[in-house]
Structure 1
Amino acid sequence: MENSRTVSFGRAWERLETWMELHAPDDYRALQLPASSEAISAITNEEFPVCSELQELLRLHDGVVDIRGGADPGSFLPSGYGLYSARRMRAAHQRMVENVSWSIEDGTMDDVIGKSAHVKWVPFAGDVTGQELIIDHRPGSTYGSVMEYDESAGRYEPKWGTLAHFLNELTEALENTGRVGYLAPRLRGDSLSIEWYIP
């Protein structure tokens, strides 16, 4: 995981959005209007503020249009994830809170808390299979990191030190025909939108 905090979120998002406007206009048009301050505050039921980068993203775009299939415009993040709206983030975070509560009630908290759920984790993107990307809001060195489920470890793990680093790596792959992990991007043949594949 990248630990440096020097990458600017504003610059990272501007690069990505500019690239999409020029090369993947269907994905660009899938971006929604900004979220309201009230909707952003409601994500965690005002128990804690979402991190500044996530707030900044939502003030630019309240996620993407609803994605019903893996090839739909808007699923431009690696593995076909699409950005959630503030409303969907709130629902996803509430599921996290409920899963933690249920695990405490049935005595399975050691298998759940900090592995598949945590009250300080905020899902911000998802795919059509139900997999999600999460931003960690626990105090400490991983605060603000982007987490993805690691099948080999059987738990969510921090993969990028900040949302800005995640977006920067994504855009580098788009601009330079590179990769994010084992995935490479390309434009779909039937639409001007991004898909990710294993070369």
Structure 2
Amino acid sequence: MTSDHLSGVLERLDTWLEGNTPGEVPALNPSATQDAIDRVAEGRFSLHPDLVALLRWHNGIRFGLPHNAGYILPGGYSILPAQSMEGGQREMEQLVAWSLEEDTDEVVTMFIVADGVEIVGDGQTHYLREDLGLTAAPATAHVKWVPIGATRSGDRLVVDHRHGPMYGNVHAVAHDGTDFQTAWDSVRAMCEDMLISLEANQPLTACRLGSGYVPRIRTTSFGAMLDWEII
């Protein structure tokens, strides 16, 4: 399916949120600028079209609102602004660099991963670009992972930009790096799953987080809010 299809899904999500949970709407930022989108990966790799469509829908949320609006993704995740995606990807690079460092103070070798990006290693092990993850299995950081969502406790959703069967997958990574799982096959699958669930008031069907989620509308003094109840 094309990015035009995803844009239509996102427009319908807007319509549902505005009509059913207006308390969430003030937290959603306007579309990201093309410059902000370009800076997320900044020439390291091309952003997945689904991620570009997500940023053109809303540039994440405004953090710090008194009623914690905007955490609309299942599992209590918000959508991150482009600037936070950019910072999160650079943090991934640093985590990978630290994971490859030698434990001594000896000189380390520099591995060029992309133009202008240097990753340090122990000078003995040879790393392929696609192998530069924090741990072998499960990986908890990768230079081609872009964080797109976060919970208030620091757990993150990342989009995988590695070539191969996981390209475009949305992974959930625990804040302490102890857990990693694929939550959806793609951003498109995540958004479609949410839309079908919200419009039909039924459990998610494509999400692989935990035992599953069903949408619930919560009434507050700031307006109706969206919760995802664990099944």
Normalised TM-score (structure 1): 0.85
Question: How much has 1:60 moved relative to structure 2?
Answer: 2.5
Task: Kindly state the Cα deviation for residue 68 of structure 1 after the two structures are TM-superposed.
Answer: 6.4
1:143 aligns with 2:167: yes
Identify which of 80, 91, 97 aligns with 2:87: 91
In terms of Rg, which structure is larger? 2
Q: State the partner residue of 1:23.
A: 20
> Structure 2 CA distance, aligned partners of 1:11 and 1:121?
26
Aligned residues of 2:218 and 2:227 also touching (Cα < 8 A): yes
Contact between 2:133 and 2:143, CA under 8 Å: does it hold in 1? no
Q: Which amino acid aligns with 2:51?
A: L
- Which residues of structure 1 form unaligned runs of 5+? none
Aligned partners of 1:68 and 1:128 also within 8 Å: no
- Following superposition, which runs of at least 4 residues in structure 1 exceed 4 angstroms of deviation? 106-111
RCO greater where, 1 or 2, for CA within 8 Å and sep 6 or more? Answer: 1
Matched residue pairs, number? 192
| Residue segments in structure 2 that go unaligned for 5+ positions in a row | 104-120, 122-131
More helix by share: 1
TM-superposed CA distance for 1:11, in Å, is: 2.3
% identity of equivalent residues = 29
Give the Cα–Cα distance (whole angstroms) in 1 for the partners of residues 35 and 64 of structure 2: 24
CA shift at 1:67, angstroms? Answer: 4.5
User: In the alignment, which residue of structure 2 is the partner of 1:195?
Assistant: 227
The alignment status of 1:74 with 2:70, answered yes or no, reads yes
Is 1:54 aligned to 2:86, yes or no?
no
Alignment of 1:31-50 (within 5 A): 31-50=28-47
Aligned mates of 1:38, 1:110 — CA distance in 2: 28
Superposed CA RMSD: 2.5
Q: Which moved more, 1:110-119 or 1:57-66?
A: 110-119
TM-superposed CA distance for 1:102, in Å, is: 0.3
SS of the residue corresponding to residue 25 of structure 1 reads: coil
